[in-house]
Amino acid sequence: MLNKKILIFSLSYYPLVGGAEVAIKEITSRIRDSEFDMVTLRFDKNHKEFEKVGNVDVYRVGFGSSYLSKILFIPLALFKAWKLDREKKYKKFWVMMTYMLFPVTLMRLFGNKTPYVLTLQDGDPFEHVFKRPHVRLFAPLLKKGFKEAEVVQPISNFLASWVRKFSSRSRVEVIPNGVDLKKFTRPDFPAHGREGNSRENLVRLVTTSRLVKKNGLEDLIESLKYLPTNVCLKIVGSGPLDSKLKSKSQKLNLEDRVEFVGHVSHNDVVKHLWKADIFIRPSLSEGMGVSFIEAMAAGLPVVATPVGGIPDFLSDPEGSSHKAPTGLFVPPRDPKAIARAIERLTKNERLKETLITNSQRLVREKYDWDLIAEDMKKRVLQTIDKIG
| pLDDT given for residue 1 in this prediction | 37
Domain ranges of the chain: 5-178+368-385, 181-366
Q: Which residue has the higher pLDDT, 291 or 135?
A: 291
The one-letter code for the residue type at 373 is A
Q: What is the pLDDT of residue 191?
A: 41
pLDDT of residue 140: 85
Res 99 pLDDT > 80 = yes
Please name every residue paired with 329 in a beta bridge, in sequence order, or none if there are none.
304
CATH class of 5-178+368-385: alpha beta
- pLDDT of amino acid 195: 46
Overall average pLDDT of the 51-80 stretch: 92
Please state which of the four CATH numbers 3.50.50.60, 3.30.450.20, 3.40.50.20, 3.40.50.2000 is assigned to the domain occupying 181-366. 3.40.50.2000
Residues 6+ apart with CB under 8 A from 134: none
Cα separation, 192 vs 246, whole angstroms? 28
pLDDT of residue 194: 44
Cα dist. 224→279, 306, 343 in Å? 14, 21, 11
DSSP assignment of 150-169, as one string?
Answer: SEEEESSHHHHHHHHHTT--
pLDDT of the residue at 388: 46
153 φ, ψ (degrees, to nearest 5)? -115, 90
What percent of the residues of the chain are helix, what percent strand, and what percent coil, each to the nearest 5?
45, 15, 40
Please give the share of the chain, as a percent, with pLDDT higher than 70: 94
Handedness of CA 68, 74, 79, 85 (dihedral sign): positive
Q: What is the bridge-based pairing of β-strands 50-53 and 5-9?
A: unpaired
Average pLDDT over residues 345-365: 96
160-179 pLDDT per residue, tens? 998 888 777 889 999 999 99
Q: How confident is the model at residue 215 (pLDDT cuts 50, 70, 90)?
A: very high
pLDDT (tens digit per residue) in 183-209 = 998 876 444 444 444 445 899 999 998
Residue 67, pLDDT > 70, answer yes
Amino acid symbol at 99: Y
State the average pLDDT over residues 239-244.
Answer: 95
Distance separating alpha carbons of residues 294 and 315, to the nearest angstrom = 16
Please tell me the predicted confidence (pLDDT) of residue 41. Answer: 95
Confidence band, pLDDT 50/70/90 cuts, at residue 385: low
DSSP state of 179: B
Residues whose CB is less than 8 angstroms from the CB of residue 3 and which lie 6 or more positions away in sequence, other chains included: 89, 90, 91
Query: Same CATH topology for 5-178+368-385 and 181-366?
Result: yes
Q: What is the mean pLDDT of the chain?
A: 90
pTM of the model: 0.90
